[in-house]
Structure 1
Amino acid sequence: MGTLLQRLAAEGLGTLFLLVAVVGSGIMAADLSPDNIGVALLANAVATGVALYVLITIFGPVSGAHFNPAVTLVFALRGEIAPVLAIAYVAVQIVGGVLGVWLAHVMFDLPVLQISVTARSGPGQWVAEVTASFGLVLTILGGLRHAPGQVAALVGAYITGAYWFTASTSFANPAVTIARSFSDTFAGIGPGDAPLFIVMQIVGAILAVLVARLIFPARS
């Protein structure tokens, strides 16, 4: 792992580019396929998945490549990151995510400061976020246990698929959720809907930790 400054820079920059990928690809997809939401979602999913593969590969050795407060919480609960460092990780993830959204807006000549009006609410959406976050964390923990060299590919593949098999399109990340509330674009979420998404994401992540203890026991 890198120094404290390197680790925080990696988490902030990684989350920034993750949001550039999520929001930027959503804007591009909606512009190119305004009458075909399916094609737009496919482009959005693929861009996010491949970006995650790259970002985890290059930043993983520096910071662990969490880019996600729920993932940081998981590693804090497992005693693999100190609480103070975990708080710092979460702070730079959120800041990096918002900056990534703003950068995407600038690139596509949109107003930088926006608030989303996209409604994403209801039991189906909330269950979807529990499911998406549970699957993401289980993928990470299972990958670290059985195929540590393939975690980047596993996470990228999981998120690409989860865009399609979850009703919420798999936010699965509190920093991403907060940042996307500042973008009134294809990828946005209304600020009023974000808090319950975040709660469900944390619930899913904690459930995954409990299940992982059962099915991925530590090596003796």
Structure 2
Amino acid sequence: MSGFDPLRRFVAEALGTGLLVATVVGSGIMAETLTHDTALALLGNTLATGAMLVVLITILGPISGAHFNPAVSLVFCLNRSLPARDLPAYIAAQFAGGVAGTIAAHLMFALPVLEVATKPRTGPAQWFSEGVAAFGLVVVILAGLRFERRTVPWLVGLYITAAYWFTASTSFANPAVAVARSLTNSFSGIRPVDLPGFIVAELLGALIALALMGWLLKPETVQQSHPLKAEP
């Protein structure tokens, strides 16, 4: 863990998740305002989110690890990178920060402080997409930390940018972000009733990735053979 005290780490998680959600929701509102072309709106939403992830992980990673995601925090707790005693506070900070991010986005665009989303996002294809999105995110993070730690902000930002477009769900991959997005009836919203399917899929995808990468990244122990000594 970093040399920062727990309170600073929890605040960093709330701040990072809040700015991430403000970017997701705010760029979605801006895109809807500027164009009726859904593909163009999604592109604007995608680029803003990917760019902000690079920034947030770079500046807040040294403080808290820049999880901004309960599924990622759970993975780091299970692989003992995050103390179990800190997990509840990390998750609470992420959910609180996410809601604050939605509020901030709404206030910037003169919308009601909070809304109930009405956009349907449900069904096996959407759930599977969220599992794949979370699986890929954890794979990228764990492999990046193992081999190219300094590039992790870029790896995550680029992965999410791509996953917006190759998943049917547009890659939420984050329970805290999903809950926050249920509180906006805008481009990025999701009906509250659809949250359980998304969250379960995200957690399952993250756990499967943890299991796979735990095996894949474990170096094989090579037993050195000793040459037989010649008999005198």
TM-score class normalised by the smaller sequence: over 0.9
Q: Are residues 219 and 19 of structure 1, via their aligned partners in 2, closer, same or farther at CA, if it must alter by over 3 Å?
A: farther
Q: Confirm or deny: 8 A CA contact 2:102 2:114 kept in the other structure.
A: no
Q: After TM superposition, give the deviation of residue 81 of structure 1 in Å.
A: 1.0
Q: Give the aligned length.
A: 219
The one-letter code matched in structure 1 to 2:137 is L
Match of 2:174 in 1: 173
User: Unaligned 5+ residue runs, structure 1?
Assistant: none
Alignment of 1:155 onto 2:150: no
Match of 1:22 in 2: 24
Larger radius of gyration: 2
Which whole-Å CA distance do the structure 1 matches of 2:180 and 2:8 have between them? Answer: 22
Q: After TM superposition, give the deviation of residue 215 of structure 1 in Å.
A: 1.6
Match of 1:71 in 2: 72
Q: After TM superposition, give the deviation of residue 216 of structure 1 in Å.
A: 1.3
Match of 2:199 in 1: 198
Which whole-Å CA distance do the structure 2 matches of 1:40 and 1:153 have between them? Answer: 23
Deviates more, 1:78-87 or 1:62-71: 78-87
Which whole-Å CA distance do the structure 2 matches of 1:133 and 1:70 have between them? Answer: 8
SS at match of 1:192: helix
Q: Which runs of 4+ in 1 moved over 4 A?
A: none
Q: Are residues 145 and 38 of structure 1, via their aligned partners in 2, closer, same or farther at CA, if it must alter by over 3 Å?
A: same
Deviations 1:84-104 (A, max 9, x none): 201100000000000000000
The one-letter code matched in structure 2 to 1:32 is L
The one-letter code matched in structure 2 to 1:22 is V
Match of 1:105 in 2: 106
Match of 1:189 in 2: 190
SS at match of 1:193: helix
Q: Confirm or deny: 8 A CA contact 2:14 2:68 kept in the other structure.
A: yes
TM-score, length-scaled by structure 2: 0.93
Q: Confirm or deny: 8 A CA contact 2:12 2:60 kept in the other structure.
A: yes
User: Unaligned 5+ residue runs, structure 2?
Assistant: 222-232
Deviations 1:31-62 (A, max 9, x none): 1012x000000010110000000000000000
Q: After TM superposition, give the deviation of residue 218 of structure 1 in Å.
A: 5.4
Q: After TM superposition, give the deviation of residue 214 of structure 1 in Å.
A: 2.0
Q: After TM superposition, give the deviation of residue 213 of structure 1 in Å.
A: 1.4
Q: After TM superposition, give the deviation of residue 182 of structure 1 in Å.
A: 0.4
Which whole-Å CA distance do the structure 2 matches of 1:97 and 1:12 have between them? Answer: 7
The one-letter code matched in structure 1 to 2:20 is L
The one-letter code matched in structure 2 to 1:142 is A
Q: Confirm or deny: 8 A CA contact 2:137 2:159 kept in the other structure.
A: yes
Q: Are residues 29 and 219 of structure 1, via their aligned partners in 2, closer, same or farther at CA, if it must alter by over 3 Å?
A: farther
Deviations 1:131-164 (A, max 9, x none): 0000000000010011000000000000000000
Percent identity of the aligned residues?
A: 52
